[in-house]
Amino acid sequence: MSKINRPIFNDDLEGGHSADYIWKLHRLDDGLVRTSYEVTWLEWDEVGKFKQRHDAPAVGRSLLMSPFNMFFTWQTTVIEEIVHTELKDDKLISVKFKTTNSTYELEYVPNPHINED
């Protein structure tokens, strides 16, 4: 049993996006790139413990990339500033944000693993 108190999500986001597209996270400071089929945003309480999960970014939240369990692919530190967001049909397709120690750009892009005819 793990001694770390961390949230584990075993459910998928419903009403999200299709597998034809993925989320691509680019850390602008050093060029690191991570991809994910889904993303979620975690809110923390005043002592740094998990409080709530959200579908949209906001100051004070962290980005968590799927899968949503102890094997997640990437988690950012807390957002300090949202520089830019882009929506399409009321869905987030791009966001640039600054965290405690990095600047990121998250984009919803075509999945390069899907064969196009």
Cβ atoms 77, 84 nearer than 8 A: no
Instruction: Residue 37: name the closest of 10, 64, 9 by CA.
Output: 64
Please provide the average confidence, as pLDDT, over all residues in the chain.
84
Cβ atoms 79, 61 nearer than 8 A: yes
Rounding to the nearest 10 degrees, give the CA dihedral for residues 82, 57, 85, 11: 150
What integer pLDDT is reported at residue 70 of this predicted model? 79
Confidence of residue 48 (pLDDT cuts 50, 70, 90): confident
Cβ atoms 111, 19 nearer than 8 A: yes
DSSP letters spanning 16-64: ---TTEEEEEEETTT--EEEES-EEEEEE-TTS-EEEEESS--TTEEEE
pTM of the model: 0.78
